[in-house]
Structure 1
Amino acid sequence: MINKSDAHSKLSRLGNNFWLLLVVALVLQYIPFLSIPFNWLESYFHEISHGLAALLTGGSIVQIELFTNGAGLCTTLGGSTFVIAFSGYAGAVMWGVLMYKIAQLNNRVTHIASALLALLIVVSCLLWVRDLLTLFICLCLLALFLFSLKISHFPILPVVLKLFAIMVLLNSLKSPLYLIDNQNIGDGAMLASLTFIPEMVWIVIWSAIGASGIYYLRKS
């Protein structure tokens, strides 16, 4: 029979072992179908970051769209075009770091944070989702956080949230690289047209932010 205290101790060691969690997250990324919700999660954080940037700079969110391939689109009105365009990739990294740091706190705080993230998805569905595909994807993401709430009384919750966070960060690290397509569309092209700084520079900056997020958590 497995002693409960021993099980809790093992889970605690797993949750505190960043490199082991990183390896698990890397493996999960290459498991067919299982990795899909986590790609959607990064995409959601990317698009909601655009939207929040619009709101914070005096604009509004018109619509959020998510697609099965992990792409997304946030249509905004008004606000700072530069801040909105920059905030997508950078914001996804910040969400990942925030989730990981919250998971290091006590279970009550982690429970509240999971509930707030679930509430944010619900609000997004009610206010800014206009199509069935995006609604379906958001409901799948909502299920992830409802699952985390379901296990909130168990010591595995911090481990689960840390895995969510690392998966988001890994996707945030590689997502800017998809802009290297010579199509001259997307956030990088937008910033290049606004600042006359080449799109590749912005791609490097966003990837560096993603790498910095992972490095920061490694030291925390």
Structure 2
Amino acid sequence: MNSTTSTTPMSTSSIWTARLASLVIIVGLFIGWNSLWVYPFQMLTVFFHELSHAIAALLTGGEVLEFFLDPRQGGHIIHRGGNLIITATAGYLGSLIWGVVLFWAAHLSRFDKVINGFLALIILIVPWLLNGQAFALIFCSIFGICLLITSIKASHWINDFLLRLIGLSCVLYVPGDIYSDTIARSGIIISDATNIAKLLGGSTMLWGIIWLVISLVILLIMFIQLWKSPGAN
């Protein structure tokens, strides 16, 4: 017996709802990029950046001595041991990967509340485990508690929207951060690209351009797949 499947009106509506939600978030982030409501999500991207450094250091045999977030959207970790090249590379690309994974978790899964709950626990616990400094402890406590309450009390759709917002704010923040740190202010500040240039050769700007191209390619692939994918919501 032959059978055919067709897209129902409800599933079509769901597909376009997911795409529209993502578009609204992207437009909102661009319009309000320097506004107060976007700031926590920018700082969360910095958190993921430093967390990626810390994970890379730990996985390559190192020890994290300090986890620092600066309210001016900066930060650093101090570590002993570990592979310096992998650890330095992990920051920008790691935070980008976090954003992509979280966005696709929202788009392809119906377990947004559970995912947000686990993410909240990560945000809450990490600074205490890695000797986080004052602002890191305060920011992560406030954001983590708010996210945890949202995961428990808010609807699936609110959690889905929030998870998309976190993911998209990360993937949109990273290319601009790379450009600012490694190209626009090359030679003015010390960045991850500066450290890589010292270890492997080349210039800060060269490594910045390489990372920028990689991040833009990942973004392009992500948005192409978003248009093709029906999602799970």
TM-score by length of 2: 0.82
Distance across 1 between alignment mates of 2:153 and 2:110:
10
Q: Which residue does the alignment assign to 2:180? A: 178
Distance across 1 between alignment mates of 2:67 and 2:85:
19
**Highest CA radius of gyration, 1 or 2?**
2
Match of 2:155, SS state, is: coil
The aligned amino acid for 1:188 is: A
- Compared with structure 1, are the counterparts of its residues 75 and 11 closer, same or farther at alpha carbon in structure 2 (3 Å cutoff)? farther
Q: Contact (CA 8 Å) 1:93, 1:209: kept in 2 or not?
A: no
Match of 1:104, SS state, is: helix
Unaligned runs of 5+ in 1: 1-8
Mean Cα displacement is larger for which, 172-181 or 150-159? 150-159
Q: Which residue does the alignment assign to 2:55? A: 52
Q: Which residue does the alignment assign to 2:32? A: 28
TM-score by length of 1: 0.86
Q: Contact (CA 8 Å) 1:103, 1:162: kept in 2 or not?
A: yes
- Compared with structure 1, are the counterparts of its residues 214 and 143 closer, same or farther at alpha carbon in structure 2 (3 Å cutoff)? farther
- Compared with structure 1, are the counterparts of its residues 184 and 25 closer, same or farther at alpha carbon in structure 2 (3 Å cutoff)? closer
In the TM superposition, residue 34 of structure 1 has moved relative to its aligned partner by 1.1
- Compared with structure 1, are the counterparts of its residues 88 and 34 closer, same or farther at alpha carbon in structure 2 (3 Å cutoff)? same
- Compared with structure 1, are the counterparts of its residues 144 and 70 closer, same or farther at alpha carbon in structure 2 (3 Å cutoff)? farther
In the TM superposition, residue 152 of structure 1 has moved relative to its aligned partner by 5.1
Q: Which residue does the alignment assign to 2:118? A: 116
| Number of residues of Structure 1 aligned to a counterpart in Structure 2 | 213
Q: Which residue does the alignment assign to 1:207? A: 212
**Does 2:105 match 1:102?**
yes
In the TM superposition, residue 33 of structure 1 has moved relative to its aligned partner by 1.2
Distance across 2 between alignment mates of 1:27 and 1:14:
21
Unaligned runs of 5+ in 2: 1-11, 226-233
Q: Contact (CA 8 Å) 2:127, 2:137: kept in 1 or not?
A: yes
- The one-character-per-residue Cα deviations of 1:32-51 (angstroms, maximum 9, x if unpaired) are 21121011011000000000
Mean Cα displacement is larger for which, 158-167 or 204-213? 204-213
Q: Contact (CA 8 Å) 2:67, 2:133: kept in 1 or not?
A: no
The aligned amino acid for 1:69 is: R
Q: Contact (CA 8 Å) 1:15, 1:162: kept in 2 or not?
A: no
The aligned amino acid for 1:208 is: V
Q: Which residue does the alignment assign to 2:228? A: none
Match of 2:84 among 81, 87, 93: 81
Mean Cα displacement is larger for which, 146-155 or 48-57? 146-155
Match of 1:34, SS state, is: coil
CA RMSD of aligned residues (A): 2.4
In the TM superposition, residue 84 of structure 1 has moved relative to its aligned partner by 0.3
Q: Contact (CA 8 Å) 1:45, 1:95: kept in 2 or not?
A: yes
- Compared with structure 1, are the counterparts of its residues 214 and 173 closer, same or farther at alpha carbon in structure 2 (3 Å cutoff)? same
Distance across 1 between alignment mates of 2:84 and 2:148:
34
Q: Which residue does the alignment assign to 2:230? A: none
Q: Contact (CA 8 Å) 1:14, 1:159: kept in 2 or not?
A: no
- Compared with structure 1, are the counterparts of its residues 130 and 118 closer, same or farther at alpha carbon in structure 2 (3 Å cutoff)? same
